[in-house]
Structure 1
Amino acid sequence: MVATRNHPKDFEPAPSELAAKQSPSKRSHSGWSHTPSNLTLIWLVFSLPLVIWDTGYVLLRPHSMPGGALHWPIWQPYAYYGTVDGAYGFKAIRENNGWTAAQGWVNLLETVAYCVYLYLVYAYGQQEATQGRGAPEQDALGSLKALAESRTVYGREASWAVLLGYSTGLVTFSKTVLYWMIEAFTGFDNIGHNDWFTLIVLWGIMNGLWIGFPLYMMYVFGQEILQGLESATEGGKKVR
């Protein structure tokens, strides 16, 4: 008995248990978290290169336009799109229309913000098989159920990520709606010459993506922000 009392190390936890307690990856998390689905993250990874491509064309005009030194091969498709949407073509240059360039600079700021958001999610998040907030039910997706899984961020980084994602989505949504409203209130000055198929497919649907997905992000992230505020007020825990 004396020997036992003189060897307190016999009562210390095993090294494996101590490591598990000290390892951040093995600590249990509770409370509020940011749970973007893989579907949301795939949209951002898919859309950002397109936005960068578009922004480069807009900010480098007229060099990126047909006849310019930078037009071929990167921005060659805009030779046609500039005839669909006059805001992207020579019409805007002749009329000294500054809207397209202004939105190009906003695109640049949005891109930086989305990249920071993705960094926070991938650097501090954990891939989980649980249902991502706002995503379709996993059972309904069948073999594609991984799209509905969550990459979960906890703690302070979760707060930064969800606030940044929501506010940037709001900017993207508002800017694109404003783009549509300008056309409506100018009598469709830049796009009214198109047939219905071209107008719907190449202008409506393509631009509509940057209304639909940001609106979805605002709805999902807004719910998380409200739930976080409620948890702080009531001392509750997030339920997914």
Structure 2
Amino acid sequence: MNVYFITGVSKGIGFELAKQLSEAGHFVVGIARTMSELDGVKFISADLSETDKLESVMDELFASAPQNAKSFTLINNAGMVDPIGLIGAVNAVEMTNAIAVNLTAPMILSNAFISKLKDFKGSKRIINISSGAGRKAYEGWGTYCTTKAGLDHFSRVVALEQSKEEYPVEIVSIAPGIVDTSMQETIRASNEDAFPLHDQFVTYKEQGLLSSTEQTAQKIISFAENVDFREVGPIADVRNY
């Protein structure tokens, strides 16, 4: 039995990942603030911004997993693009919340995941859903770009550390491309003063240039099933596979 823990399953890529992996016969536990209507997926309610509770969430995840698991995969998918705005005009509370959800939560969950599976001899993987914004600067996305860059670099560090372990955890931080999610709706609802590339992202939608969540989830799953993380390295882009 292959076990998957996935954050942010109430919608978007996370919803599709949970749905497709469950339909393929895997044991899936989804984590989100609001309940998802996903048959065959166990659901745990958690607010990832409440970082002091996340180690307990990981305890709950493992308590729900079958004893005969052959592999464990943690997919840190949850993320938020807000606050959108030029630095100097961003709300500090919103910035703090975004850092917690996009970066602190994946770090804490990954830390607990690695700790609990230290002596597990089966396959162990962490997939961090990153963004091209972590690899290129965008005006108006100071917080989002920074958190995704941090997630990438965190993945590099974990890969380096785990390469020396007897039973290593494989890790990759993968950019999913430009996907038609609620995050894109948030971007299009912003204004050009806050996000100078606003019109470009409106055009992506109008010209049908956004990938669907279904297609993106399929590509991520195919990547996970067919690619050796150690050969690829900790940084990847699903559009290259």
Using the size of structure 2 for normalisation, the TM-score is 0.27
| Bigger fraction of residues in helix | 1
User: Which has the higher Rg, Structure 1 or Structure 2?
Assistant: 1
Using the size of structure 1 for normalisation, the TM-score is 0.27
Which protein has greater RCO, CA pairs closer than 8 Å, 6+ apart? 1
